[in-house]
Chains A and B, each alone.
Chain A
Amino acid sequence: SQTIHQWPATLVQPVGSPLSLECTVEGTSNPNLYWYRQAAGRGLQLLFYSVGIGQISSEVPQNLSASRPQDRQFILSSKKLLLSDSGFYLCAWTGANYGYTFGSGTRLTVV
Chain B
Amino acid sequence: AQSVAQPEDQVNVAEGNPLTVKCTYSVSGNPYLFWYVQYPNRGLQFLLKYITGDNLVKGSYGFEAEFNKSQTSFHLKKPSALVSDSALYFCAVPGSQGNLIFGKGTKLSVKP
Residue of B with least CB distance to A43: B104
The listed residue with most A CB atoms (<10 A of its CB), out of B44, B102, B103, is B44
Interface residues of A (CB under 8 A from B): 6, 32, 34, 41-44, 46, 49, 51, 57, 59, 88, 90, 92, 94, 97-105, 107
A42, A90, A94 — most chain B CB neighbours (10 Å):
A42
Tell me which of A34, A102, A107 contacts B41 (CB under 8 A).
A107
* B100:A100 contact, CB within 8 angstroms: yes
A43-B103, A44-B90, A102-B45 known; A94 and B98 CB under 8 Å? yes
Residues of B within 8 A of A90 (CB): 43-44
Q: Label chain A's interface by main secondary structure.
A: strand
- Are A97 and B49 closer than 8 Å at their CB atoms? yes
- B44–chain A nearest beta-carbon distance, Å: 5
B19 contacts A by Cβ under 8 Å: no
Q: Whole-angstrom distance between the alpha carbons of A6 and B44 in the complex?
A: 13
CB of B79 to closest CB in A, whole Å: 26
With both chains docked as a complex, state the minimum distance between the C-beta of B11 and any C-beta of chain A, in angstroms: 15
Contact of B51 with A by CB under 8 A: yes
Cβ contact of A100, chosen from B46, B51, B103, cutoff 8 A: B46
Q: Given the complex, which residues of A lie within 8 Å of B40, measured CB to CB?
A: 41
Q: Which of B43, B88, B99 contacts A105 (CB 8 A)?
A: B43
A residues near B95, Cβ cutoff 8 Å: 46
The 7 closest A-B pairs by CB, nearest first: A102-B43, A43-B104, A102-B44, A44-B102, A104-B43, A32-B98, A105-B43
Query: Chain B 77-104 against A: per-residue CB contact (8 Å), 1 yes, 0 no?
Result: 0000000000010100011011111111
Minimal beta-carbon separation of B77 from chain A (angstroms): 22
| Interface contact B94-A98, CB-CB below 8 Å | yes
* CA–CA, A88 and B88, complex, Å: 14
Q: In the complex, what residue of chain B is closest to A99 when comparing beta carbons?
A: B46
Instruction: Across the interface, name the chain B residue whose C-beta is closest to A90.
Output: B43
11 contacts between A and B (CB under 8 A): A49-B97, A88-B41, A90-B44, A92-B44, A94-B99, A97-B51, A98-B34, A98-B100, A104-B43, A105-B41, A105-B42
